[in-house]
Amino acid sequence: MLNLFKKKPYLHFWSSVSDIEKIEPIRSATKVIPEWFKNLRNFPPSMDKEVDSGTVKMCPSFISYFKTLYTMTLWCDIKIKIDDNYNQWTTPDSRFSLSAHHSSQMKDHLPHHEKERTKIIMKANCPWRAKTSKGYMLMQLPCTYDYNPIFEVPPGFIETSFYHEINPQLIFRQRGEFFIKRGTPLCHYVLVKKEEVDFKIFSKKEYFKIDPTYETIVKTKFHRVFKEMEKRNEDSKD
């Protein structure tokens, strides 16, 4: 019997600084979609007629990706100067600060090519807090599709059912002086359930014994799509 009264897992955010939620709230990633993706057409006007697919805007994985995530944007303007392990920064309010990770904590141990790309790692002392249901935690992800050339936030898990601070690290990829505007996407968060998984690897023959319908479904779908492609190609010749 279905448990109709089962509670939904919760994800709560709040700020240690008043009114941040009115100025730069944490939002669904569907509200902070990168401009290049929003401006993308389903089909480019110059598409080769023999190419039987649209742009990535037609890909269901992108839609599901943005619908599943919550985006943290920068809560204030930051002026920062980066030079190897040296940094200077200013913000409009003393409650908003950054602190540097010493290179011996991570950078010095990275593979050579990644060490070259990593100029300095800063921690954003974040005003946001998060709490999740028992048995759930937050996964932090970089805003991959924003393609920020200055910094990126690394992925990781936060045990938010009992630890509520979320202070993303900023891995700076360039040296120089930068002005990072309030509202710049920093990172994504997704709610993850903590549970054991029945993880196994099967050969094709082994899995067919478990689910003999799988191959039939794949073949049927392939033939249907192939037939549709053939028909469109024939129609385009007329």
Q: Are 99 and 123 in contact (CB under 8 A)?
A: yes
Residue 86 has pLDDT above 60, yes or no: yes
Residue-range domain boundaries for the chain:
11-193, 204-230
Residue entry with tokens 């937050």? 138
135-187 pLDDT tens trace: 999 999 999 999 999 999 999 999 999 999 999 999 999 999 999 999 999 99
- pLDDT for position 3: 58
Report, as an integer, the average pLDDT of 23-30.
96
Q: Identify the DSSP state of 92.
A: S
For 222, residues 6+ apart whose C-beta sits below 8 A from its C-beta are none
Q: Residue 29 to residues 3, 59, 128, 150: CA-CA distances in angstroms?
A: 30, 16, 17, 21
Report, as an integer, the average pLDDT of 15-37.
95
Give the 3-state secondary structure of residue 15: strand
The dihedrals phi and psi of 113, each to the nearest 5 degrees, come to -65, -35
Report, as an integer, the average pLDDT of 24-28.
96
Looking at the whole model, is its pTM more than 0.85? no
Of the candidates 181, 179, 185, 155, the residue with the CA atom closest to the CA atom of residue 169: 155
CATH architecture, domain defined by 11-193: Distorted Sandwich (2.70)
Token pair in block for residue 62: 């992108």
- pLDDT for position 238: 55
Burial call 114-136: b when 16+ CB within 10 Å, e when fewer: eeeeebbbbebebbbebbbbeeb
- pLDDT for position 118: 94
- pLDDT for position 1: 46
| Mean of per-residue pLDDT scores for the chain | 87
Token pair in block for residue 20: 């941040």
Which of 60-69, 133-142, 194-203, 212-221 bottoms out in mean pLDDT, i.e. has the lowest? 212-221
- pLDDT for position 54: 79
Rounded Cα distance, 150 and 145, in Å: 14
Residue entry with tokens 């045990």? 159
Alpha carbon dihedral 119, 123, 124, 130, in 10-degree steps, equals: 140
